[in-house]
Structure formats: structure tokens, C-alpha cells
Amino acid sequence: MAPHPTNQHFALTKRRWFVFAIFFFFMLLHQSDKLLISPLTTDIMKEFNINEAQMGLVTSGAIIVGAFFYPLWGYLYDRFARSKLLALASFIWGATTWISAVARTYPAFLASRASTGIDDSSYPGIYSLMSDYFPPKIRGKVYGFLQITSPLGYLIGMVLALILGGMIGWRSVFYITGSLGILLAIIIFFGVKEAPRGGSEPELENIEQKIQYKFNWKTARDLFKRKSWLLLLTQGFFGVFPWQVITFWFFHYLETERGFDSNQQLITMGIAILFLAAGYPIGGILGDYFFRKNPRGRLFVAATGVILGAILLWITMTIPDENVLLFTIMLCLSAIFIPFASPNVISTVYDITLPEVRSTANAIQYFVEQGGSAVAPTLAGLIAVSSSMKDSILIICTGAWVLCFIFFLFAMKLLPKDINTLRQQLKERAELEQQASDTGVSE
């Protein structure tokens, strides 16, 4: 007799959008807090009487700590209950932000702010848990909507800093965001239920799982046999170059080479960020659509996004300085395509990896990307010194995106084989689950 959907499966399906909403707000507020320090930089530097180099160490410290914690978080998520670990990550976010607010010396502030990197590397658990709540056919859309929290969080952080920073001071702003982190930790702990690993996969979604699959080193090592995943790792290293260059240097470029005043910068970048935010769910939805047509569909959308982003940004940067309106329009058009790859890469990683190592696979990917994150701003500065910031942005962004396009093409060629391997493994597990159900065996 064919297995019927279990009550547990129905419960998870019913709750999944509630869980999605919780993590959407977690990521939105966490990103706001994470990016809040940038617009508050001047006030913090005055408070501690420090220079730009010392302030730079504050951000670098969090990035370095986050990079080292990615593999640990990935292992823990695949070994233990993700929902409880995510509650812990939210508590760490709130606690470390509070400690940053009470720090009275620069060394204490540097150490406490660096410790915020611990929770910055906690996202693989969210994506992994969501993969067990949502089936493959809609994961791109889900991840796309989750990822709009990054640009929207940047805007919220900027508004909070500009409005509240001057009224109540930067320490009070951190008290507010830290308190929200602790509140969300309580909500996640009691409101989010753990989902069976692989429970939303077509082969397993209607089967009550009796065999519990958790992280083991052999399965983790087998990740490196997935050639398409190795290509995605490689493109990920180069793929973050444009993000970091634009984040660090684009405001400077607008001010020094295009002559934008602060209001023009705010308006232009504010509009562009909204278009950038729209690009995440659009890319994810398109990826889901083409994936249902062809297993290469997600990477087709990702490759299209990076190459169109490169072409449109090149056109945008060559527009004469006096034509501000056309520049803004083209910048917004470029921004739509730039994030197409992000939700589709994550979805593709989960299309080829077993459920019990998905957090690990995602964590390794982010760890590799941090390498590009560290190198890109310095490289851009070196190019700008010998040429111009415009040339620096164009060379790094378009060069990186062309490389990503090439890696996507090779990954597309290898992807169907890796997807078929995973689907076969899941079918074998479904058969084992059925046997375990028939015999009453549990592991």
C-alpha cells in the first residue's frame, strides 16, 4: 500500500509560512543591526577618539570571526536541532550587541564588536531548515524573499542611524537592536519546530521518517565528489568581489568622480537598493520556473543575471556625469539583474547535497566567499590609485562576473549528473524508510 502523508508532514506544511515569517524578520533586523555601524561610524570614532584604521579593524574583526565560525555552525546545524541553535544565534546577536553598547574603551568595543561575527555566520542553518519546510520546486522563491532582507536591512539601519542616532545616541540604538535579538531568540526557541531532514524532498515528503540521518564525516567528504558544487564554490569566491567593491567604494565614487552631494547619493543609492532588493525574489522565481522545465534552469538564470549585470553596469558607468537621470535609471536596471545568482546558487547547492550536510555545504561556500570579501576592497583601492575609481569598479565587477558566467556554464554541464545522483540516494532512503516502517525498526 502506498504511504499516506503523515500528520507531521501536514503540520509542517501548515506552519511553514509562519516559520518563514519569523526568519524573515530575524534576518531583516539582524542585517539592520549588522550594517548599522556604517552610518554610526563618525559618532563612534569621536566617542573613542580613534582614526579610520582603528575603526576599520572593528569591521574586519567581525568578518574574520564570522569566517572562522562558518564551518563550526555548519557542523552543529547538521548534527543537532537547527531551530534551537538558531535561537542561540539570535541570543548571541542580542547579547554581543548589548556588550558593544556598554563598552567604555576602544579595546573593549573592538573585542565586543568582533564577537558579533559569531552570529553573522549562522545563516546556513536558516537555509537548511527552510529546505526541509519547502520543496525544491519553490525554494528559489523562498530564498529570494529571504535575501531581500540584506538590502532592506541596510536601508532600515541607515534610517535608524540617521534618525535615532542623533536623538538618543549610538549606544541607545544598539540597546534597541540588541533587545530585539534577545526577543527573537525567545520567539524562535518556542515558535519554530524542527523539521525532519529531507522531509520536503519529493521522495520522502509522504513518508514518516523513522531513520534519523545526521552529519557524518564520510557524507561530508563526499561533497567534494560533486563537481558542480566545486565549480559553484569557485565562482562564489569571485562572485563576492563586486558586492564588496560596490559596498565599500560606490558612495566614494559618486562623490569624488561624479560630483554627487550627500542628498544625490542618498536618493540615487536608495532607489537602486530597492531595485536590487526586487532582483532577489525575481531571480528566485525565474529560477524555480526554469528548474521545473530543466535541471539546469536555476544556473541558466544565474548566468544570465551576472552577464546582463556586467553589460548594464558597463553602460551605466560610461554615461556622462551631467546626465544624472539616465545614470540613475541605468543603475537601477543593472541592480535588478545583479542578485539573480544568489537564491539560485543556494537552491542548486541543495539540489545536489544530502539533507544532513546541507548546512555544512552552505557554510563551506560562505567561508570561501569570505576570502573574496577580504581581498576585494584592497584590490579596488590599489587599482583606483593607479587609474580611477570608475576603472577600478568596472574592471573588478565586470571581470568577476565574466568569470562567474564561465564557471556557471561548466557547472551547468555537470549539474544533471549530480542531481540524478542525489535523487537516486533519496529514492534508496525512501525504500529503507518503508522497510523500517513495515518492520517497526527505528534508528
Does the pLDDT of residue 39 top 70, yes or no? yes
pLDDT band at 383 (very low <50, low <70, confident <90, very high): confident
With beta carbons less than 8 A apart as the criterion, state whether 367 and 332 touch.
Answer: no
Alpha carbon distance 166, 173 (integer Å): 10
Please tell me the predicted confidence (pLDDT) of residue 136.
94
Query: What one-letter code names the amino acid at 218?
Result: K
Mean pLDDT, residues 56-72: 85
Cβ–Cβ < 8 Å for 278, 338: no
Distance of CA 407 to the CA centre of its chain: 20
Find all residues with CB under 8 Å of 249, minimum gap 6, and list them: 377, 380, 381, 384, 389, 392, 393
Q: Of 37, 176, 62, whose CA–CA distance to 119 is shortest?
A: 62
Q: Give the distance from CA 300 to its chain's centroid.
A: 20
Q: What is the mean pLDDT of the chain?
A: 89
Please check the confidence at residue 59 and state whether its pLDDT lies above 80.
no
The whole-number average pLDDT for the span 389-411 is 94
Distance CA 75, CA 215 (A): 7
Nine cell digits for residue 419: 542531481
Q: Is the Cβ–Cβ distance between 229 and 353 less than 8 Å?
A: yes
- Among 68-82, 99-113, 114-128, 255-269, the minimum mean pLDDT is found in 255-269
pLDDT tens, 166-220?
A: 778 888 888 999 999 999 999 999 999 999 898 899 888 777 777 788 888 999 9
Q: For 197-263, give the DSSP string.
A: TTTTSTTTTTS---SPP---HHHHHHGGG-HHHHHHHHHHHHHHHHHHHHHHHHHHHHHHTS---HH
Average pLDDT over residues 354-366: 94
Identify the structural domains of the chain with CATH numbers, from first to last: 1-206 (1.20.1250.20), 222-443 (1.20.1250.20)
CB 415 within 8 A of CB 352: yes
DSSP conformational letter for 2: P
Q: What is the mean pLDDT of residues 350-379?
A: 88
Kindly state the average pLDDT of the residues 113-139: 93
Please name which of 273, 232, 197 lies closest in space to residue 425, comparing C-alpha atoms: 197
- Comparison of pLDDT for 340 and 167, the residue scoring more: 340
- Going by the DSSP 8-state scheme, the letter that residue 201 receives in this structure is S
pTM to 2 decimal places: 0.89
- Predicted confidence (pLDDT) at residue 9 exceeds the cutoff of 70: no
Looking at the predicted structure, is the pLDDT value of residue 432 above 70?
yes
Most confident option among 191-200, 355-364, 428-437: 355-364
pLDDT at 1 over 50: no
- pLDDT higher for 433 or 415? 415
CA–CA distance, 309 with 87 (Å, rounded to integer)? 37
Q: Which of 31-35, 83-87, 209-213, 295-299 has the lowest mean pLDDT?
A: 209-213
pLDDT given for residue 244 in this prediction? 81
Q: What is the pLDDT of residue 2?
A: 41
